Amino acid sequence: MTTRTDPAPGSARPNLAVRVWRKLLDSLPISAPRAALYWGIASLVANVLIIFTGGVVRLTGSGLGCPTWPRCTPESLVPHPELGIHGAIEFGNRLMTFVLAFVAVGTALAAFRVRRDGLPRRDLRLLSLIMGFGIPLQAVIGGITVLTGLNPYVVAPHLMLSMALVGLSTVYVRLAVHRPRNGTGRWGRRLAWLLFAVMWVVVWLGTIVTGSGPHSGDESSFRTGFDPYIVSRIHATSVQVVVGLTLVALLVLRNRAVVTLLAVEVAQGVIGYVQYFTGLPEPLVAAHLVGSALAVAAVTWVVVETYPSASADPHEPATGTGAAPLLVPGRGPSDPPSVGDPSSAD
């Protein structure tokens, strides 16, 4: 059986610093695969949370509560009392960046610690680095959002990057869970990718609806000028397409991920219509925002499930029907045994 510190077959003995580092990590009270999973879940939750807090900034009209960036005002890094509650809300959202950065570092360290059969989890490492890079990028786009007076064409990519980080966190979590994926054939995978693409169109159209509506984040900010009624109808039509495709996917793929996606879409659709017919009350708009993040997570999960787990043994065929495994240079993403099995704790 593989032990925690086994080197890869045929590889050189690691140097002293690496061995000390591994010993230190091995002495932690939590196994490496479990830690990777928990940090992945923390990343997912934190990225959904910042979408929610960003929504609170917009829905309370606090978008320019700190009127400049990276300082809150030209004179001060932090808000002063004259900026009132709006300054506190906007600054609170800026502080969330540090929570995200902390979680991103933890996620990356966990990804670099976890090994299986002596091999590094390059899939998790790569994902964690991309996710980590997204945080400073997002802080800069957030700054540009403020400096452009909440221009909706800047607010939209700001939200969509957070959505992308939710998607990446979902992939990370699924690859860190030690439950094998059966995968599907080529057509199942194509259908999942089509569903994924249309969902992103739905999200993008949603941001156009928001940019044309009343919740701009500040009374002074620029609107797209589109008729909110027309863009809402276009957005709702794209949702009907995504729901139709999900029903087809349910027949073709028959897995838990698609059922979850359908449940999220139905809940999200109900919230969407109710908010539309009741004059966009803030709590419902906030719920719709969180629902959008969950929809992105669910559709990403659907795609991941169409790729079979790769075998740790390169000579052993992967399960599923003729697919390349997802993100696996050097390592298959998620094979048995289950989380917590000592044989998987490297």
Among 107, 138, 210, 221, the residue binding ligand HEM under the rule CB under 6 A is 210
By the rule CB under 6 A, 239 interacts with ligand HEM: yes
Answer for the pair 57, 217: CB distance below 8 angstroms, yes or no: yes
- Nearest to ligand HEM of 58, 181 (CB atom): 58
CA–CA distance, 141 with 299 (Å, rounded to integer): 25
Three-class DSSP category at 116:
strand
CA within 13 Å, CB half, 301:
23
Q: Nearest-5° angle of CA 123, CA 125, CA 127?
A: 70
Query: Which positions from 295 through 314 interact with ligand HEM, judged by CB under 6 A?
Result: 295
Query: Which positions from 21 through 60 interact with ligand HEM, judged by CB under 6 A?
Result: 55
By the rule CB under 6 A, 250 interacts with ligand HEM: no
Among 62, 288, 309, 326, the residue binding ligand HEM under the rule CB under 6 A is 288
- Nearest to ligand HEM of 121, 235 (CB atom): 235
Segments in the chain forming alpha helices (H): 16-26, 32-59, 84-113, 122-147, 152-176, 186-212, 228-253, 256-277, 282-305
Minimum Å gap between C-beta 70 and ligand HEM is 23
Residue 7: both structure tokens together = 């080197």
- Nearest to ligand HEM of 280, 326 (CB atom): 280
Nearest to 327 by CA among 300, 345, 346: 300
By the rule CB under 6 A, 273 interacts with ligand HEM: yes
Minimum Å gap between C-beta 224 and ligand HEM is 11
Q: Which stretch binds ligand HEM (CB under 6 A): 27-35, 89-97, 102-110, 198-206?
A: 198-206
Answer for the pair 65, 90: CB distance below 8 angstroms, yes or no: yes
Three-class DSSP category at 119:
strand
By the rule CB under 6 A, 269 interacts with ligand HEM: yes
- List of residues contacting ligand HEM (CB under 6 A): 55, 159, 202-203, 206-207, 209-210, 213, 215, 232, 235-236, 239, 242, 265, 268-269, 272-273, 275-276, 280, 285, 288-289, 292, 295
